[in-house]
């Protein structure tokens, strides 16, 4: 189990590096990135823009921290302390990594006319936070609510990703990078404490031997 999770985490990191390399250095990918952004920017007009702003504000620094703290604290109080730790590492690691990469690897790209895009845009911190929170929600949920948590988390994460493109805050490749950063941290965090999440995974992925936590 631990080796599989470490391998998945490594693959996510490699995929994120590949996405950035292609998005920044391959002409066709840069054109596609810009073209998609042009078509999604202000999609739905003023109403769509306003709704998108409301969705993304939930994952601004202050409310994002409160959501993460509530999720982790709730899991710990429910007796799922190891799951809570994995959730905290997943959310915190994803968000911190996204911010460090944005500030450490700035690069200006073409942007739609009349709409400035910062060179510090890859990967999307809002996406990393939303996806990290969605994964963490599944990790800490009891088995009976696992699929409901997965559906709710996926819906919220997809809404945030779509809203980011409507607002023009990030390119599609920034969003993809944020997803991969969050997934990579989820795998690495779970690998450190595999028994904390083994009960959340399908039986075919569970360890062949050894005990797992009962949620």
d(C-alpha 41, C-alpha 166), whole Å: 4
| Residue 183 located in a structural domain | yes
Say if residue 213's pLDDT is above 50.
Answer: no
pLDDT value of position 194 = 59
* Secondary-structure breakdown of the chain: helix, strand, coil percentages, each rounded to the nearest 5: 75, 0, 25
Residue 100 placed within a domain: yes
The confidence score (pLDDT) of residue 73 equals 97
> What tokens does 75 get?
């899991």
Share of the chain above pLDDT 70, in %: 89
Among 90, 32, 89, 95, which Cα is nearest to 62's?
Answer: 95
Matching residue, tokens 């607002």: 167
Strands (E), 98-194: none
Q: What is the mean pLDDT of residues 128-156?
A: 95
Q: Is residue 46's pLDDT more than 50? A: yes
Q: What are the tokens at 209?
A: 């031997």
Residue 209 domain flag: no
Two tokens, residue 59: 């994952």
pLDDT at residue 35, rounded to an integer: 96
Give the total number of structural domains in the chain.
1
Query: What is the average pLDDT across 148-171?
Result: 96
Q: Is the pLDDT of residue 189 over 60?
A: yes
122: left (phi over 0), alpha (psi -120 to 50) or beta: beta
- pLDDT of 107 reads 94
Domain assignment present for residue 211? The answer is: no
Q: CA-CA distance, 211 to 150, in Å (whole number)?
A: 24
Domain assignment present for residue 206? The answer is no
Over the stretch 52-99, which tens digit does the pLDDT of each residue have? 999 999 999 999 999 999 999 999 999 999 999 999 999 999 999 999
- Decide: 176 and 18 in contact? Cβ < 8 Å: no
pLDDT per position as a tens digit, 107-130 = 999 999 889 999 999 999 999 999
pTM assigned to the model: 0.88
Report the chain's terminal Cα–Cα distance, integer Å: 18
Burial of 154: CB neighbours in 10 Å, binned 0-12, 13-18, 19+: middle
Higher pLDDT, 191 or 162: 162
pLDDT of residue 204: 44
Q: How far apart are CA 39 and CA 134, in angstroms?
A: 27
Q: How far apart are CA 188 and CA 29, in angstroms?
A: 29
The Cα–Cα gap between 213 and 199 comes to: 6
Cα(99)–Cα(209) distance, rounded to whole angstroms?
A: 39
Report yes or no on 112 lying in a domain: no
Q: Does residue 61 sit within a domain?
A: yes
Does residue 115 lie in a domain region? no
pLDDT at 201 over 60: no
| Residue-number span of the structural domain to which 74 is assigned | 2-106+122-201
**Alpha helix (H) residue ranges in 26-124:** 27-40, 45-57, 61-77, 81-104
Mean pLDDT of the chain: 90
- Indicate the DSSP class of residue 116: -
Predicted pLDDT at 190: 87
């Amino acid at each position: 189990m631990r080796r599989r999770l470490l391998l998945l985490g490594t693959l996510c990191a490699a995929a994120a590096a590949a996405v950035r390399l292609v998005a920044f250095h391959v002409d066709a990918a840069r054109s596609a990135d810009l073209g998609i952004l042009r078509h999604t920017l202000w999609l739905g007009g003023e109403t769509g823009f306003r709704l998108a702003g409301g969705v993304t504000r939930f994952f601004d620094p202050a409310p994002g921290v409160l959501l993460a703290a509530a999720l982790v604290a709730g899991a710990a109080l429910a007796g799922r302390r190891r799951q809570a730790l994995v959730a905290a590492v997943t959310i915190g690691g994803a968000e911190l990594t996204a911010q460090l990469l944005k500030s450490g690897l700035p690069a200006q790209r073409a942007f739609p006319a009349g709409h400035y895009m910062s060179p510090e845009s890859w990967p999307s911190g809002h996406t990393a936070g939303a996806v990290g929170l969605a994964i963490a929600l599944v990790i800490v949920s009891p088995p009976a609510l696992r699929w409901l948590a997965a559906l709710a988390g996926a819906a919220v994460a997809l809404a945030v990703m779509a809203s980011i493109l409507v607002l023009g805050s990030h390119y599609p490749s920034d969003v993809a990078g944020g997803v991969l950063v969050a997934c990579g941290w989820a795998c690495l965090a779970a690998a450190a404490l595999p028994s904390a999440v083994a009960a959340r995974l399908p039986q075919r992925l569970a360890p062949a031997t050894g005990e797992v936590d009962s949620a």
